[in-house]
Chains A and B, each alone.
Chain A
Amino acid sequence: MVVLSAARWVRSRLSDRFWRVQEVLKYARHFRGRKNRCYKLAVRSVRRAFVKSTKARREKKRFLRALWITRIEAASLEHGLKYPAFISNLAKSQVELNRKVLADLAIYEPKTFKSLAALAQRRRQEGFLAALGDGKEPEGIFSRIVHQHY
């Protein structure tokens, strides 16, 4: 920068430093220790917090799915079925309910979940009969597939 005369060049100084600092500190208020008060420490902590929250959105989906699976496993064990048997037999009976809905049903609608477990159990028995007792017995009722033509 060409300085023609030093007296003409007025140095401009920040007047809203307080608000610029508050913009960062407002996201650090619930932190522990000096990083909720001191700007220099808070800047680093807030940036790391934002980065972690962005990355955690992908983990949240995995975490919630694992939680649903745990709950469905617990509920189906109450009815005498293990989780892999329950899920596979429901899928074979063309019941397309996802794990989120199944977990909510297990919590808030226990009778519906009991009937779903009974359905899976029946389909499992029919599967065993079809595989082991090959021969003249008729096919199971719940093993019939409904074909949708779109």
Chain B
Amino acid sequence: RYVRQLQRLQLLFSPTAADARGARQFVEEAAQDFARQHPDVVLYVSPHSGPGPAPVLRAEYLNGTVRDELIASKTSEEIVQLATKLANQSGLDIIRIRKPFHTDNPSVQGQWHPLTNKPSILTVQGPRLQPQ
């Protein structure tokens, strides 16, 4: 069953700043629809009064990563697209993955070591067999 990796979305903006216009429109129009479409994501709207930092959309994931996206001077539709993109991501860091595969048990028959293909007379020590 699919478990959405996005825990919560925090919309931090100021109700009077000019570049937060798109954020305010998003809150008025599209935030409820977004919250209904994504029932397992919690949406927090926290306006801070007065001049403050730039409006930001903070996404927190189940593995603890916090991702901030600037929404200054963005339209409501762009913020909706951004929010859906964050909701479909997982919290893994966005770096180059070195290998597209990974195994915890790479070797079934035992990994090669310099004594695998040598006659066992070399290593076995017993009452009758002496190492050469």
Chain A interface (Cβ < 8 Å from any Cβ of B): 75, 78-79, 106-112, 114
Contacts and interface: CB of A to CB of B under 8 A. Distances in A.
A109 B117 contact: no
B108 interface: yes
Most buried by A among B106, B107, B111, B117: B117
Give chain B's interface secondary structure class. loop
Contacts of A75: 112
Interface residues of B, number: 9
Contacts of B111: 107-108
Give chain A's interface secondary structure class. helix
B20 to A, nearest CB: 20
Nearest to A108: B107
B106 to A, nearest CB: 5
B117 A108 contact: no
Contacts of B116: 110
Nearest to B103: A108
Contacts of A106: 112
